[in-house]
Amino acid sequence: MQKSTMRNTLTLLICNLVLFSSFGQEEETTPYTWQSKFEQIDNLLPTPNVYRSGDGSPGPSYWQQRADYDIQVSLNDDLQKISGSEDITYHNESPHQLSYIWLQLDQNIREKGSDKFLTKNLDFTHLDSVSTLGVVFNTQLTSTEGGMHITKATDNKGKALQCTVVKTMMRIDLEEPLEPGDKFKFHIEWWYNLNDRMEEHGRSGYEYFPEDGNFLYTIAQFYPRLAVYDDFNGWQHKQFLGSGEFALTFGDFDVEITVPSDHIVAATGELQNAKKALPRRHYDKMQVAKSSFDKPIIIISEEDAIQNEKSRATSTKKWVYHAENVRDFAFASSRKFIWDAQAVKLNDKEVLAMSFYPKEGNPLWEKESTKAIVHTLKTYSKHTIDYPYPVANSIHAASIGMEYPMICFNLGRPAPDGTYSDGTKYSMIGVIIHEVGHNFFPMIVNSDERQWAWMDEGINSFLEYLTKEEHYDNFPHDRGPAHLVVKYMKGQKQYIRPMMTNPEQVMQLGYNAYSKPASALNILREVVLGPELFDKAFKTYAERWAFKHPKPGDFFRTMEDASGIDLDWYWRGWFYSVDYVDISIDTVVHYDFLPNNLAPDYYVSSIDSTVAIASKKIKVVNTPDHYYGEFRERLNYKEVFNKMDSQHYYQMNFSNIGGLVMPIVMRITFDDGSTTSLTVPAEVWRYHEDSCRKIFSFDQPIKLVEIDPGLKTADADTENNVFPRQETKSEFEQMKEQKHD
């Protein structure tokens, strides 16, 4: 219930004038340097042009390249080796003539002595370090020869192409320049050795199961892929060092995957030869799953999978996939797969959510995986665009979470006896939501991961949080809520980088690119804009940039353009700086009027006190003429006094200790115990970024003022959020007391 009202501006102005003299008496404040926290970020963003508009939308001449792939790939289960051939059609939609094109050879990061290892900072003081061992293993000890071997590269007439491999990139020089609007067709053949993911780590590779002698393959970055050529960077061919992920061009894929005939395959896209590839009973179950909207249907049961583990086929089988408008392709293959599927309805679209896991993932996976996919598709579709692809797969892969279009590889393995802790369960659900969620960012809203990790990881972690909130009771969040990022943000600045930093330079990437942006967007939604304005603007961003290549400026500009709120101060503070939030309420002084407005001013108590709300009596006097503008009506001070006398006035002084400017979210408690909420917009700091003063009037006396009582703003020091200051028990003291109870 609202127990008080703010008075109109004019009254407050007069009150201010009356109090004017008292401001002059305040202590001198320490000088500070103005840091332009409310200046526009225009000088940090690219100048809008015909390709990218000032409102954050793609410009009238926006263009992007396209690459269509026709791939034949074989998995050698005896040698753990991939070999393939591809026909690529590259469409030059740019207004530029191209004399060469660049492809990514990501597997070259596994070459001995690759830049990833050469540039890694290491100290050899501790041989037990996993980092050190990983590098030594890769550069000195591994017997597997890593890296991609290109065995053939020809144009569509069979003529050899001029190729130059530059570490993880390859340039193909074109005999004839590729004109705008033209396409270039070419052919590449290659092979590479797969890595043991459990030993050497990596986003893809294999896991070997010694008990039954089978491999579980998760295959990605397995073919030479076109780098992005765009209006912003020209070619994005920044070398792959391991942390900065991928920037990829959209296209259609036709892929034939040849594996041992007793393997089960899952992949990006729709299976084209299901009738041929699947035994009849599995095929029939899959048809049933397509109309099962309420629960998953088991297509391959655990018993079937255990039976299949014992098989050792010498023949091979082809699995044929087709995928449209995707930026990449990945697949998984094993004899060990259990398979379940459920249909999801999203407006007029029907999607098949599918999980593939070995028996080692059960009983957890059959209970939670497909359910988590369904939840993700529903929540993300609501906030962005309806999931546009026909399938969404979740594949069990110990120790990692890694995303590709329509398919992702996810951790979460129970103990050998099938038991699992809540920690295992919730981290598995969290990873599945996160990796399936990546379908939207960056697979559809296709940001440049090599340059900006927060644009996919951070935005995705934010939606991951919303999904958990919507579909799970009391999910133990490890990021998303504001308070979970406090410890990081108030930490030692030497270990913190701004979010607007390339992922290869970032320290504490998990906080920098996941937790901080997730909290920043959550705070923007809940505290600054409110869900209604935020959701509209966020959806606008997704709709504008679905199947395109957005940059940070396109996000910042769209969020402002669609919400109608200038947020440059917010981007500056949260995205470009390492400031943290700490607003202190320093003093609260109660002013009321002398009886009959007669006696002179006097102090009742010192206003420096932080243990009590000081009181001061004031007198209303006639405003001197020179404060009025020409011809403005004069106020009669007696009338003003009569109107104001029934109210209680409070001056509150705040300081900004952490540096981040933020709205001041307050809860006021009145003498009778009732409360009201007030929020002062962040612009209150625009004159002095480190301090501000406010006058409020209420119709009854107040006894307590609290800043951010709901812990919604990531305020680092909660002791200075309360006035009068209260004896608060530290967490240490609370723990000690609990122990004694």
Partner 1 sequence: MINILTAPLLSLFLHAHHISVCEMTYKEDSKTLEITQQVFADDIELFIKRESGNETFDIRAEEDQVQKYLQNFIEKHIVINLDGTSLSQHWIAYKIDGNDVRFFIELKDVTGSQLSVTNTIFLEMLGGQVNVIHFHDKEERKTKVCSQEKKTVFFDL
Which positions from 205 through 244 interact with partner 1, judged by CB under 8 A? 242-243
Which positions from 121 through 140 interact with partner 1, judged by CB under 8 A? 121-123, 125-126, 128-132, 134
User: Closest distance between partner 1 and the C-beta of residue 507, in Å?
Assistant: 4
Residue 606, judged by CB atoms within 10 A of its CB (0-12, 13-18, 19+), counts as exposed
- What ranges in 564-715 are assigned the alpha helix state H? 568-570, 637-644
| 237 to 276: interface string for partner 1, x by CB under 8 A | -----xx-x-------------------------------
Q: Closest CB to partner 1 among 231 and 435?
A: 435
Which positions from 374 through 433 interact with partner 1, judged by CB under 8 A? 399-403, 411, 415, 421-424, 427, 430-431
How is residue 681 annotated by DSSP? Answer: -
Q: Closest CB to partner 1 among 271 and 455?
A: 455
- Residue 479 as a binder of partner 1 (CB under 8 A): the answer is yes
Q: How far is Cα 27 from Cα 292, in angstroms, rounded to an integer?
A: 72
User: Closest distance between partner 1 and the C-beta of residue 692, in Å?
Assistant: 26
Q: How far is CA 267 from CA 81, 394, 454, 569, in A?
A: 18, 10, 27, 43
Our measurement of the distance from residue 599's CA atom to the centroid of its chain's CA atoms, rounded to an integer in Å, reads: 61
Q: Closest CB to partner 1 among 411 and 704?
A: 411
User: Closest distance between partner 1 and the C-beta of residue 165, in Å?
Assistant: 25
Q: Closest CB to partner 1 among 180 and 418?
A: 418
Element (H, E) at 188: strand 183-193
- Residue 487 as a binder of partner 1 (CB under 8 A): the answer is yes
Element (H, E) at 364: helix 364-383
User: Closest distance between partner 1 and the C-beta of residue 63, in Å?
Assistant: 28
Q: Which residues of 344-374 are buried (b: 16+ CB within 10 A; e: fewer)?
A: bebeeeebbbbbbbbbbbbebbbebbbbbbb
Which of 91, 171, 201, 322 touches partner 1 (CB under 8 A)? 201
Q: How far is Cα 569 from Cα 290, in angstroms, rounded to an integer?
A: 48
Q: Closest CB to partner 1 among 422 and 672?
A: 422
Edge-first strand order for the sheet with 691-698 is: 602-603, 614-618, 583-593, 648-656, 691-698
User: Closest distance between partner 1 and the C-beta of residue 14, in Å?
Assistant: 44
Element (H, E) at 733: helix 731-740
Under rule CB under 8 A, how many of the chain's residues touch partner 1?
61
- What ranges in 524-567 are assigned the alpha helix state H? 531-545, 552-563
Stretch that binds partner 1, among 78-86, 324-332, 453-461, 624-632 (CB under 8 A): 453-461
How is residue 453 annotated by DSSP? Answer: S
Which of 177, 363, 476, 564 touches partner 1 (CB under 8 A)? 476
Q: How far is Cα 109 from Cα 112, in angstroms, rounded to an integer?
A: 8
Q: How far is Cα 216 from Cα 263, in angstroms, rounded to an integer?
A: 10
Residue among 725, 735, 458, 415 nearest 574 (CA): 458
Which positions from 488 through 527 interact with partner 1, judged by CB under 8 A? 491-492, 495, 507-510, 514-515
User: Closest distance between partner 1 and the C-beta of residue 720, in Å?
Assistant: 14
- Residue 582 as a binder of partner 1 (CB under 8 A): the answer is no
Q: Closest CB to partner 1 among 625 and 727?
A: 727
Centre a 10 Å sphere on the Cβ of residue 28 and count the other Cβ atoms it contains. Answer: 5
Q: How far is Cα 263 from Cα 246, in angstroms, rounded to an integer?
A: 29
Q: Closest CB to partner 1 among 231 and 504?
A: 504
Question: 185 in helix, strand or coil?
Answer: strand
Stretch that binds partner 1, among 363-371, 379-387, 570-578, 733-741 (CB under 8 A): 733-741
Which positions from 627 through 686 interact with partner 1, judged by CB under 8 A? none
Which of 93, 196, 469, 478 touches partner 1 (CB under 8 A)? 478
Stretch that binds partner 1, among 22-30, 104-112, 219-227, 471-479 (CB under 8 A): 471-479
Which positions from 526 through 545 interact with partner 1, judged by CB under 8 A? none
How is residue 580 annotated by DSSP? Answer: B
Q: Closest CB to partner 1 among 219 and 537?
A: 219
Query: Mind giving me the DSSP string for 3-68?
Result: ---PPPHHHHHHHHHHHHHHHTTSPPPPP-----TTS-SGGGSPPP-SSB-TTSSBPTT----EEE
User: Closest distance between partner 1 and the C-beta of residue 81, in Å?
Assistant: 24
- Residue 474 as a binder of partner 1 (CB under 8 A): the answer is no
Q: What angle do CA 270, 80, 135 make, to 5 degrees?
A: 110
Which of 68, 456, 582, 708 touches partner 1 (CB under 8 A)? 456
Stretch that binds partner 1, among 335-343, 381-389, 484-492, 597-605 (CB under 8 A): 484-492
- Residue 725 as a binder of partner 1 (CB under 8 A): the answer is no
- Residue 175 as a binder of partner 1 (CB under 8 A): the answer is no
Our measurement of the distance from residue 10's CA atom to the centroid of its chain's CA atoms, rounded to an integer in Å, reads: 45
Are residues 253 and 267 in contact, defined by beta-carbon separation less than 8 angstroms? no
Residues that bind partner 1 (CB under 8 A): 120-123, 125-126, 128-132, 134, 201, 203, 242-243, 245, 399-403, 411, 415, 421-424, 427, 430-431, 434-435, 438, 449, 453, 456-457, 476-479, 484, 487, 491-492, 495, 507-510, 514-515, 730-733, 735-736, 738-739
